Amino acid sequence: MIQTNYLIIGSGVAGLTFAVKIAERFPDKKVTIVTKANENESNTRYAQGGIAIVTDKIEDSYQKHIQDTLICGDGLCDESVVEMVITEGPKRLKELIEWGAKFDKNTQGTLDLGKEGGHSENRVVHHKDQTGQEIQRAILSQVHQKENITVLDYHLALDLITENNKCLGAYVLDQKTKEVLSFQSEYTLLATGGIGHLYGHTTNPVIATGDGIAMASRANAVIKEMEFIQFHPTALYDASTGTSFLISEAVRGFGAYLRTKNGHRFMPDYDSRGDLASRDIVSQSIDLERKKTGDDCVYLDCTHLDLDGFIKHFPMIYERCKSVGIDIAKDWIPVVPAQHYLCGGIVVDKNGKTSVENLFSCGECSRTGLHGANRLASNSLLEALVYSDKIYHYLADTSLEKTPFIGTVSDWKLTSKPEINPDYVAKTKANLQLLMRQNAGIVRNDADLIKAKKQLSHWKNEVEEQLKSHNVNAELYELQNMITIGLLIVQQSIERDENRGGLVKINAK
């Protein structure tokens, strides 16, 4: 058994920010980060657009940002949470800059603010089209300066250890030695990111398999609003690949237009905001256009834009298009919606506390009330920064007030069993991804959802049997987690009988 004061599962902006702050406040306490790939691999790293923060108080205001968030959330946001997160934004940005994160500036030397779908003003702070990567770099450099932080990469958390609705730590698989380690912790933070790999066609990296939410669900934590899946409208269309390259919404903010194959600019037909309507509306509109025409994709037209300005703002997007033979000065970019973000998750209060004692959650795996039925672009990094700070302050005060409950953590019993057939895992996963795309995609209906639930329940029982009869296997655990997430999405989609934000059901109210 390994003892630590704070166990953090995940190494994106949410987990790392909390680690830096708590380690600095309590240099004598042990902070342990476990992450299933290398420490630099997370959903944060792939965030292109930026962080939505009100910095220009002349053109913009907190009230405008709050209003944009509430409109996008389609009546399901917690207004007090929205206000809290948005008004704290500037403080968290100042902190990132102090930690060494660099953001683009304009010719006047002030922050160059981008505009994205659903925003009424330019307020997106960015580092070219690699904002997440830059933030991750800056925070990781802070992590490495703290002697009391241990980062264990290639360590997959298998399950939380609980007793009487209290979290005592977690069982973690060292993927190199194949040993299952028991971590006993005073406090555990789930910061495991999203669920995109469940759909296959996603802007998320392959590590996004919903592990934290699935573990929390097995520990009986409250999970809510899993039906609200955000599909990013503009992922580069490539029939041969699963993980989709994101064409940032900021490209449309820069002036690009969506067109059908015939050149028709269709977005003004659906929404007065045109190409800069919120993501749910743009994705649903593209879905409708594709169904009307039978085309595989629609197109993003950048040919009228200033090429030098485009390359300066979006070097990564320009290079990626070039690498697949698209010259943005002459060619339209083929795009399709791809799974991008989960708006629901593990229910937390304003201090990031879950319904399980001593268990906290932060970032995309949590459901704070900020996003409601659909997330406003670039509000996710903001949410992660604000909530990791809230958890830090809460635990810093709590740690000084009382000694946390420590139960007994038993070691994982390993017995020699046969290895799982990797073909079984790969085949089941491919079938699962296809089922989710077809039956729980952008537009759903109850008949398909009920069919999906039946199939998912069958796979759940089958995988549980495989787990019992085979050696511990990371891919099999991920498959179990993805099936758990699939069931949560499908069940909560069935239960909601109204169309809101990211959920569109045929025949719903």
Residues noted as catalytic: 279
Q: For residue 122, count other CB atoms closer than 10 A to its CB.
A: 16
Q: For residue 495, count other CB atoms closer than 10 A to its CB.
A: 9
Cα–Cα nearest to 401, from 186, 91, 174, 160:
186
Give how far Cα 434 sits from Cα of 42, 291, 296, 438, Å. 24, 18, 16, 6
HSE at residue 424, side-chain half, CA atoms within 13 A, is 14
Q: According to the 3-state scheme, what is the secondary structure of 169-238?
A: EEEEEECCCCEEEEEEEEEEEECCCCCHHHCCCECCCCCCCCHHHHHHHHCCCCEECCCCEEEEEEEECC
Per-residue buried b or exposed e for 368-397, using 16+ beta carbons within 10 Å of the residue's own CB:
bbbbbbbbbbbbbbbbbbbbbbbbbebbee
Beta-bridge mates of residue 301 = 257
Judge whether 281 and 271 are in contact, CB under 8 Å.
yes
In sequence order, what are the residues at sequence separation of 6 or more whose Cβ sits closer than 8 angstroms to the Cβ of residue 6?
A: 18, 19, 22, 29, 30, 31, 32, 185, 186, 187, 188, 189, 395
In sequence order, what are the residues at sequence separation of 6 or more whose Cβ sits closer than 8 angstroms to the Cβ of residue 414?
A: 179, 180, 472
Q: Summarize the chain as % helix, strand, coil (round to 5).
A: 40, 20, 40
In sequence order, what are the residues at sequence separation of 6 or more whose Cβ sits closer than 8 angstroms to the Cβ of residue 109?
A: none
Nearest 5°: CA angle at 484, between 240 and 171?
105
Main-chain dihedrals φ then ψ at residue 53, nearest 5 degrees = -145, 135
Q: For residue 162, count other CB atoms closer than 10 A to its CB.
A: 22
Assigned token pair, 361: 């959650």
Main-chain dihedrals φ then ψ at residue 187, nearest 5 degrees = -135, 140
